[in-house]
Homo-oligomer: A and B are copies of this chain.
Amino acid sequence: MKACADVKPNERLQHLIDSIRPTDPLAEERAWERLDSLTKPPRSLGRLEEIAAALARIQGTDHPSVDRRAIILMAGDHGVVAEGVSPYPQSVTWQMVANFAAGGAAINQIASSVGADLLLYDLGVVGDTSVLAGVNQAKVVGGTANMRHGPALTRDQAVEALLAGAQAATEAADGGVRLLGTGEMGIGNTTAAAALTAAYTRTPVERVVGPGTGLDHAGVAHKMAVVGDALSRNVTHDSDALDVLAALGGAEIAGLAGVMLGGAARGACVLVDGFISGAAALAAVALCPPCRHYLLASHRSMEPGHTVQLDHLGMMPVLDLDLRLGEGTGAALAMALVDAACRMLSGMATFQEAGVSGSESA
């Protein structure tokens, strides 16, 4: 029985990965032709044109649209908080999920301001969130194990979290959502994200560990030591992408990697929020490299390891606003620009349609 139950989720994960198709370079080419025919000097909308072309490539059309959009926010707790790596107590994770459910957090206001639905998922919170209205239950663990002393998750738990994330994304996409944003909540998760970043990008711990929600200099040094121990204890040269994800956690990060895989499988664009979501992107792309072309980086986080992630993935963020909150706030803000980019490409008139004279040097 156990072996059979073990095999089935692994097969489902492999099937998910195999179902992700490459994006469409011909649609991108048609989009650039159209962009250059629209009533503006060529390339005068800079990065907005690049975003529009990326959406064309993802959606396979030179008239992309992202009318329906959603933030998928996943929460989970981290055993490593026992090491004193966060200035906030673990109970804040549950309390903030309650705050999201009640509409009082930053992401509630920002998602609403850009017309995005906010979909909440409990992947691994300590404590019962089923008493909170609107929190989808997908708990694979009630807080991860402390990665300083062993794997944060088992491989089975990591697979379960990946599949739960993929299901969240596919359900949203099947409901018409074309643009997903990732968000997270989990006290201690900048520690997990730093460890994942060091492991996936093979970067020294010193370059990927930062202050998180507000550690001082000594706190950051201690966090570096904890991350270093977790890597020595759990990651070897033979570790595969799934081993790394399980060993360092957390459940919400694995869930968000699943959101990226599930979104890519359905042809949705996924806006990656900040440092925690970036760690999930490293995992998703390590598990399935073609997933990369469905991802856009929303903003450059203040957390130093975020730039390491972006460089590794070859991503250029849309916004640079010194954000370091998470929750999907950067992804939600960037949605306004992605929507504007799509409407520009799809809705503008060409020089010919508008009867506007072109450049005399052209």
Contact = CB atoms under 8 A, between A and B. Distances in A.
Given A321-B48, A324-B41, A361-B214, A349 B92 contact: no
Number of copies: 2
Interface string A310-343: 0000000011111111000100110011011001
Contacts of A353: 104
A38 B110 CA distance: 14
Contact of A349 (B102, B110, B325, B348): B102
Contacts of A320: 320
B325 A360 contact: no
Interface residues of A, number: 63
A44 B356 contact: no
Nearest to A84: B360
Interface of A: 38-42, 44-48, 87-89, 91-92, 95-96, 98-99, 102, 104-106, 108-110, 112-114, 213-214, 216, 302, 318-325, 329, 332-333, 336-337, 339-340, 343-344, 347-349, 353-362
27 contacts: A38-B106, A39-B96, A40-B325, A41-B325, A44-B325, A45-B325, A87-B359, A88-B358, A88-B360, A89-B360, A95-B357, A99-B349, A104-B348, A104-B349, A104-B354, A105-B349, A105-B354, A109-B340, A109-B344, A110-B340, A112-B343, A214-B359, A216-B361, A319-B319, A320-B320, A332-B340, A333-B337
